[in-house]
């Protein structure tokens, strides 16, 4: 039986994600499915750390950045090689 994954990231776990390229597996909040992004920062939250993704969207004056908890990430984000 696989070990249960922690509910949220620790500081060191989140920090290892900075600079990683990812994509979303489903559309949400104006971000189409299969859109790529870069992890640009990590922030402490009330139950662990969140990571900020800057989406590769064209036609915007300012970048779109969304923050994710690990549970959200696990549902709709895929890390690229």
| Domain assignment present for 72 | yes
Q: How far apart are CA 73 and CA 77, in angstroms?
A: 5
Cβ(36)–Cβ(25) below 8 Å: no
4 is a domain residue: no
The mean per-residue pLDDT over the stretch 37-59 comes to 95
Task: Check: CB of residue 37 under 8 Å from CB of residue 22.
Answer: yes
What CATH number is associated with residue 70? 2.30.30
Band of pLDDT at residue 5, cut at 50, 70 and 90: low
Q: What is the DSSP string of 7-27?
A: SSB-HHHHHTTTT-EEEESS-
pTM to 2 decimal places:
0.88
Domain count, the chain: 1
Is 6 a member of any domain?
A: no
Q: Evaluate whether residue 74 is within a structural domain.
A: yes
């Amino acid at each position: 039986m696989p070990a249960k994954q922690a509910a949220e990231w620790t500081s060191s776990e989140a920090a290892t994600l900075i600079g990683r390229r990812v994509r979303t597996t489903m559309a949400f909040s104006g971000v189409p499915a299969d859109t790529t992004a870069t992890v640009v920062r990590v922030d402490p939250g009330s139950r662990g750390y969140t990571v900020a993704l800057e989406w590769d969207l064209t036609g915007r004056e300012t970048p779109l950045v969304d923050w994710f908890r690990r549970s959200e990430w696990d549902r709709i984000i895929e890390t690229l090689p």
